[in-house]
Chains A and B, each alone.
Chain A
Amino acid sequence: MTTVQQGTTAADALAAAHTYAARGAALSKVYGDGDTRVVALDAVDVEFRRGQFTAIMGPSGSGKSTLMHCMAGLDSLTSGRAWIGETEISALDDKGLTRLRRDKVGFIFQAFNLLPTLTALENITLPMDIAGRTPDQAWLDGVIDAVGLRERLRHRPTELSGGQQQRVACARALASRPDIIFADEPTGNLDSRSGASVLSFLRTSVREMGQTVVMVTHDPSAASYADRVLFLADGRIVDEMAAPTADRVLERMKAFDTAGRGATGVI
């Protein structure tokens, strides 16, 4: 993580951008003040290497969603700096952030990912349509085939199953070839089979298309699809695991539970 702190000049930022799709330095997020003061992020340094699939895990209230929202330009930081590619997002205004999300970031939410008034295909190309750009047809075809939705492109979201809807959301996130895709519990609402197909697709997009994916999840088996897992607790990154398996992740999470109980003195 030392590289991050050094990467503050323009040249360094450019060099860092080659290696990292996104990174953050001393990210802090504080809600409220006085008695109601809550530190959601506490000086977090983090980086996401290009072509890597990262899972962020942690107990409820650990700050994992806040970290993702701040890195994605959905939420503002109390202090610290964050970059996506070579763009420092902590310096952008609303307009700049909007453009950044549109052009450089892909999103997959837990639910309500699609506009009910648009067909699957229209949903997939929506960010590019908003930007007024023409999609790269060959890439688009590849993405559509990869998610296996060619037959369903003319359907509206209400005519699709939950798994299909999430795959449309994945396709949308990928279609504009963003620097990074943020997924917020993408399988939280799906049964295990549908969830598995979405996760496999995300892994494929990283392995075969060179995408960078950051996924927040609380499901150890979902995390096992990632290349590495970051563990958050109390607004800090407390551990990191490479080549995770579901069992190892589960073990690590159990340790949190015990530590948590010890800390709060419940047992």
Chain B
Amino acid sequence: MMANADFPLESASPIAGGVRRVALDPLSRVEGHGKVTLLLDDAGHVWQARLHIVEFRGFEKFIQGRPYWEVPVMVQRLCGICPVSHHLAAAKALDHVVGADELPPTAEKLRRLMHAGQILQSHALHFFHLSSPDLLFGFASDAARRNIVGIAAAHPEVARQGVLLRRFGQEIIRLTAGKRVHGTGAIPGGVNRALSPAERADLLAGIEQIIAWSRQAVQLVKRLHAADPELYDHFGTCRSSLLSIVGAGGVLDFYDGRLRARDADGRVLADAVHARDYAGLISEEVKSWSYMKFPFLSAIGPREGWYKVGPLARVQNCEAIATPMAEAERREFIAHGCGRIVHAPLAYHWARMIEMLHAAEAIEDLLHDDELSGSELRSSGARHHEGVGVIEAPRGTLIHHYRVGDDDLVTMCNLIVSTTHNNQPMNEAVRRVAQRYIDGQELTEGLLNHIEVAIRCFDPCLSCATHALGRMPLVIELLDASGRLVGRLAGAPDALSSGGGS
């Protein structure tokens, strides 16, 4: 339908007969709080679709005036799903502040292990607990069953593997950070403990099974794609640039590397950009209807410069994966694109499982490395007043930027989190799905869940993205032609309430 903003359907044009507004609020099976609003005319045509992030947190403000060594522990409280990523991004930024531009090998490897555990547990959580109900039962299937409990009943082995994969990742985090959630392992300049040979042996005893299950998860996603290529290749598809860090030699690297951006056709737009120069690469736009900013590649501008981050971007941005099984899967994925960049949101799941497999393989390699049990845990050097840390969190590129005064207190903090990068792509996917599935239709819970499915592909963490305090449910509201609220989907997916006929 028509729109008068930069992006079709972002803002509704004047409509003769008025519109009704549908709000999906809260969004379910995502982390954090958000809502989707749709403006529909009397015939049910979609005039506007927006993903709103409605909470505000303010970590960037209240970290000011705190001592820098407190930062990695405090800022990880942004999130309970991927605190390790915030913990490590902050520690990396502060490594530079304490002059530790090169960590002792033991420290860097322990951090890499901690992060691989994080990728493993978060990807398992997202795929098995949050998304598999949509993918295995169908987007419009019975809402009462469309959850992890339903999966446990219908596919007990899948549910069990999801739980145990996550547990293994959490155990790695516990052993490297001291706790499964919100530990203290990374400190500016290094880490505070190493792994004993006995701890490594315990973890190694279980890794073969973890790798096998991770391989099976990739096969499961491939079967889903093969069973319905029309859906998986086109559902909510929106072309955009891609952004991620890429490790030395062009390999997939979650922990460290330089920023690379490709355009929607795969041409490299920017490469080998150091984290400290991120501000020259991307800018952020603010819109009145969301607390989440809209980043874009500065050289291209807000209209065309938006980009995707996360598994789909990373797997296509790198030239190789350093572990053999994941690399074989990456090649198959690239071949699926037939020489073109895959932009389909549902392909995020495929890429995510390839990454989970890589994390499992990388964990095994690291656990065999005796340097994990070394004793040199920290380094330091000449102090600096500023540091930028970049890391690939499960959901995408995560940037932490701090300035620290001579008195050791933080004077400035800027956080650009993974989900924020994906703000425009998620909004675009919502609009594509609204246009394709909702436009002109009688609204049902199952149809509206299609919008949530599109958002879930990106595995958004809306709490992180707004640095907001609190829960993350999502809301969908429906307004009639005069702007009256006629329908609202809130809380549980089956909670579509009618305020005058929806």
- The judgment on whether A and B are partners is no
A residues apposed to B, CB below 8 Å: none
